[in-house]
């Protein structure tokens, strides 16, 4: 499973990229606002940090204006994936852009039927929001299972990009189901490293090493 980080914080992106685990980045208008920087400037910087797809979202709601904004975004770098909402105009834009060879991430997916439409429109990625579904009392990971089944039934090339990931269990369940990608905030990715037995084991090893009075090199 590919790991994307969901942030516009370039310092966090650089640090995670150094682990070799980072395959791409997703952003959205809210994350750009939180970063407090110029939109195009920060997206350009992110594209220079990671070689994988960097999702940059249009803010228009009609097809014509979406295409105009997408034209600006895809000139930033070759690894831009234009992010569009799962609406009629969004899917029209998706079809047009993928037909021209541009990667497209269709976002705000909440049903398997919506995911089916996005795949038929040629989406590179579909972004189902599992955390937001959990928030309203439904099981977000069930949606991932349904999309995986449908996409496998018809050999759709669209990659399932699990979004709105809130905790490590979401990552684990997505991997067990066979999602292609997950995107999570930096804090959630860092939680994947943590286990108290790892910490205790390291402390014991270091304590025993100090008792030897030795050093390496």
Entry pTM? 0.95
The CA–CA distances, whole Å, from 1 to 159, 160, 173 equal: 10, 10, 11
User: Which segments in the chain show pLDDT lower than 70?
Assistant: none
pLDDT tens for each residue of 139-179: 999 999 999 999 999 999 999 999 999 999 999 999 999 99
Full residue range of the structural domain in which residue 97 is found:
2-212
What is the per-residue pLDDT for 25?
A: 98
Mean pLDDT of the chain: 97
Q: Is residue 217 part of a domain?
A: no
Residue 7 to residue 39: CA distance in whole angstroms = 13
What is the per-residue pLDDT for 130?
A: 98
What is the per-residue pLDDT for 50?
A: 97
Q: Which of 148, 182, 181, 147 is nearest to 168 (CA)?
A: 182
Q: Is residue 166 part of a domain?
A: yes
- Structure-token match 């955390």, residue found: 131
What is the per-residue pLDDT for 187?
A: 97
Residue 157 to residue 89: CA distance in whole angstroms = 21
CATH for 114: 3.20.20.70
- Structure-token match 């930096």, residue found: 186
Q: Which of 167, 100, 105, 101 is nearest to 140 (CA)?
A: 167
* Annotation marks residue 83 as catalytic: yes
What's the number of domains the chain is made of?
Answer: 1
Q: Is residue 132 part of a domain?
A: yes
Catalytic residue among 2, 75, 83, 211: 83
What is the per-residue pLDDT for 217?
A: 85
Q: Is residue 75 part of a domain?
A: yes
Q: From the CA atom positions of the chain, what is the Rg in Å? A: 20
> Pairing between strand 103-109 and 80-85?
parallel
Length of the chain in terms of residues written = 217
């Amino acid at each position: 499973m590919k790991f994307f980080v969901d942030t516009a914080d370039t310092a966090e992106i650089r640090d995670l990229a150094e682990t070799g685990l980072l395959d791409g980045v997703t952003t959205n208008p809210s994350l750009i606002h939180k970063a407090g920087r110029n939109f195009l400037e920060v997206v350009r910087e992110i594209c220079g940090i990671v070689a994988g797809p960097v999702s940059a979202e249009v803010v228009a709601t009609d097809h014509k204006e979406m295409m105009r904004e997408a034209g600006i975004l895809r000139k930033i770098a070759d690894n831009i994936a234009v992010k569009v909402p799962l609406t009629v105009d969004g899917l029209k834009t998706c079809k047009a852009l993928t037909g021209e060879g541009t990667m497209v991430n269709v976002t705000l997916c909440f049903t398997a039927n919506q995911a089916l439409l996005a795949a038929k429109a040629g989406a590179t990625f579909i972004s189902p929001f599992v955390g937001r579904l959990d928030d309203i009392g439904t099981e977000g990971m069930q949606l991932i299972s349904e999309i995986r089944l449908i996409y496998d039934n018809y050999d759709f090339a669209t990659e399932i990009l699990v979004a709105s990931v809130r905790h490590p269990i979401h990552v684990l369940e997505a991997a067990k189901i066979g999602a292609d990608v997950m995107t999570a905030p930096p804090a959630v990715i860092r939680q994947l490293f943590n286990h108290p037995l790892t910490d205790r084991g390291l402390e014991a090893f270091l304590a025993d090493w100090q008792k030897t009075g030795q050093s390496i090199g």
